Amino acid sequence: MTSTPTGSAAYRELRAQLDALTTEAFRPELSEIDRLPTEEIARIMNGEDATVPTAVAAQLPRIAAAIDATAERMARGGRLIYAGAGTAGRLGVLDASECPPTFNTDPGDVVGLIAGGPSAVVTSIEGAEDRKDLAAADLDALALTADDTVVGVSASGRTPYAIGAVEHARAQGALTVGLSCNADSALAAAAEHGIEVVVGPELLTGSTRLKAGTAQKLVLNMLSTITMIRLGKTYGNLMVDVRASNEKLRARSRRIVSLATGASDEEIETALAATDGEVKNAILVLLGGVDGPTAAHLLTNSAGHLRAALDSSNSPTE
């Protein structure tokens, strides 16, 4: 990729755009931070991080609205798709990759797209973030539908890849969310649901993997987790759709059934055996007094919502 000459009009325009971004602002009071003792730098950084949850809290109504709209579409079979570049893209890939083991979702239900493709997770792909057409092509490769939700993620709110993803998705009738860390961003303006978590200038000028990255991680946690709660992937605060793919998760599965039912170890083992290890089904067997096949049938009829299935079993839930 060729660099833009520093004297060109394009360079001056880009410089002006960056100067106007809160996330890119220079903080003169930290200009000699490298001279401070390590513990003092850590104290300053910790204080900066502590301001992030307050910034997220200011956007909770917008976050909640986006979650409700997303859950409605996913209940119809839609997907949750994140699209971003650099740190923002990596955070989307991370959140998507954690949904299958946590909520037993299909890997295709929550997808993370990063500018430049999978290799960009560990290697910078020069120029990929500047192309809207790449975002459109990545979404087309997923056969985007109107039931899908596309979340463009960009700290600056001006990354072409993220904006291009939202614009293309919106044109296809999909739900769109724009998550950025600057006010009045182009990304939020392009999306139906704009979420702007303004965390202020970074400790290191322009290093948006810091506060901005933390803010984006917190919001993505909410988007996926609360959407899954709305979809019946939990029972109270228990991960009843957890996928027991290793010894730790198998032990967690048994503990979840125990916490939900208060049953003995022997009863839990019998219920899990009768339901092929499915935690939600095993809980329904124990609390609803039904057999494995009936539990599966009730859960299918209740779209996977355990509380509704328990009501259908006509058995007490306590």
Task: Return the active site residues.
Answer: 98, 129
Q: If residue 17 lies in a helix (H) or strand (E), which one and from where to where?
A: helix 9-19
Q: Degrees (nearest 5) of the Cα angle 28, 31, 33?
A: 135
The per-residue b/e assignment along 89-110, b for 16 or more CB within 10 angstroms, e otherwise, is bbbbbebbebbbebbbbeeebb
C-alpha separations of 206 from 14, 30, 62, 65, 129 in Å: 14, 13, 26, 30, 16
Q: Count CB-CB contacts under 10 A for residue 68.
A: 13
Q: Helix axis angle, 292-301 relative to 279-288, nearest 10°?
A: 110
Phi, psi of 193 (to 5 degrees): -115, 105
CA distance 289 to 316: 9
Q: At residue 19, what is the residue type?
A: D
Go through the chain and tell me how many residues it has.
318
Q: Two tokens at 23?
A: 């996330």
